[in-house]
Amino acid sequence: MTKSRCVVAGSGHYLPARVLTNDELSRTIDTSDAWIRQRTGIAERRIAAEGETTSDMAVIAAERALAAAGLKATDIDIVVVATSTPDNTFPAAAVSVQAKLGITAGAAYDLQAVCSGFVFALANTDAMLKAGQGQRALVIGSETFSRILDWTDRSTCVLFGDGAGAVVMECLDAGDNPQDRGILSAHLRSDGRYRDKLYVDGGPSSTGTVGHLRMEGREVFKHAVARIEDVIEAAFDATGMTADDLDWFVPHQANIRIIDATAKRFGIPDHKVIKTVDKQGNTSAASIPMALSEAAADGRIKQGQVLLLEAMGGGFTWGSVIMRW
């Protein structure tokens, strides 16, 4: 029986030009470069320019992913943008991306699972393509968290940054895929009982305002470590793989302590872990596709290699994907 798999045909990312350092933050709030680095691993983050929107950044990342794949925008059947910071309440950022890229066929929609958004979008797109909804998709994570931060709250505003990453997914039949590339496992989880641990205190049907991000950091940290472990174990059980089979671990970039603890728990050596949190902070749904794009562009991630992705975020939502690049 021919088995289709959805493979990454290309990736791209975009970071806004403006760099905001810890030292700059320490001039406006009661914090320090030493505290932020030690507790989070973050040294700096990027901030979108005035007027620069989530869809603007997504379009640049998408164009770069299309160029890397050697494809045209009109080759794309589905555009999915994973974001919690869309340009407008509606329509979806994805339809703006679609229009800006000149795509008029197929479907475009946003997917909102906060920091787990890209993992959810990858699994969703894989299923959509396998179900025959098209041949190729743009899966994008793009966020402007700088717009929903309370810049007087030192416990949250130092953590996040802006940016966008994109991959082109293409469905291949077994005969065209001798390396068995593609998504090998996807495990998605949510537990809404914890929705007030990390949330935005506004919205169209509650306050009628956009609101600001609020988080019980220590509580989220504790859950993140346990829940990430749960979905990585599920991924290993489903594929029969172990940490030894991985070429790269590409975690969501929330906190270097969470990344290092997870890698240590599973015996993944540091040289196999892709880390961007120092220069980008937590960019929510954009962090994994940006890390993938950066590491593919500089030659670390190569075709045929096995990658483990994981994320955990507001909701709570969490998930993992094992894929052969």
Which residues in this chain contact ligand UT7 in the complex, by CB under 6 A? 31, 35-36, 39-40, 115, 154-155, 158-159, 217-218, 220-221, 224, 254-255, 258, 282, 312-313
Report the catalytic residues.
115, 252, 282
| CB-nearer residue toward ligand UT7: 220 or 322 | 220
- Least distance in Å: CB of 45 to ligand UT7? 13
Write out the two tokens for 169. Answer: 């997914």
Q: For residues 10 and 8, what is the distance between their CA atoms, to the nearest angstrom?
A: 6
| CB-nearer residue toward ligand UT7: 10 or 141 | 141
End-to-end CA distance of the chain: 23
Phi, psi (rounded to 5 degrees) for 13: -150, 165
| CB-nearer residue toward ligand UT7: 100 or 265 | 265
| CB-nearer residue toward ligand UT7: 95 or 288 | 288
- Least distance in Å: CB of 228 to ligand UT7? 9
| CB-nearer residue toward ligand UT7: 258 or 322 | 258
Write out the two tokens for 176. Answer: 């065209």
- Least distance in Å: CB of 61 to ligand UT7? 19
- Least distance in Å: CB of 222 to ligand UT7? 8
| CB-nearer residue toward ligand UT7: 31 or 83 | 31
- Number of residue whose CB is nearest ligand UT7: 217
Write out the two tokens for 164. Answer: 């966008």
Phi, psi (rounded to 5 degrees) for 287: -65, -45
Write out the two tokens for 293. Answer: 């794009």
Q: For residues 222 and 197, what is the distance between their CA atoms, to the nearest angstrom?
A: 11
Question: Which residues in 1-87 belong to E strands, given as ranges?
Answer: 5-14, 18-21, 44-47, 78-82
Helix 93-101 with 54-69: angle, nearest 10 deg: 50
- Least distance in Å: CB of 170 to ligand UT7? 29
- Least distance in Å: CB of 270 to ligand UT7? 19
Write out the two tokens for 294. Answer: 């950066």
- What is the SS3 string spanning 115-167? HHHHHHHHHHHHHHHHCCCCCEEEEEEEEEHHHHCCCCCHHHHCCECEEEEEE
DSSP codes of every residue in 238-262: HHT--GGG-SEEEE--S-HHHHHHH
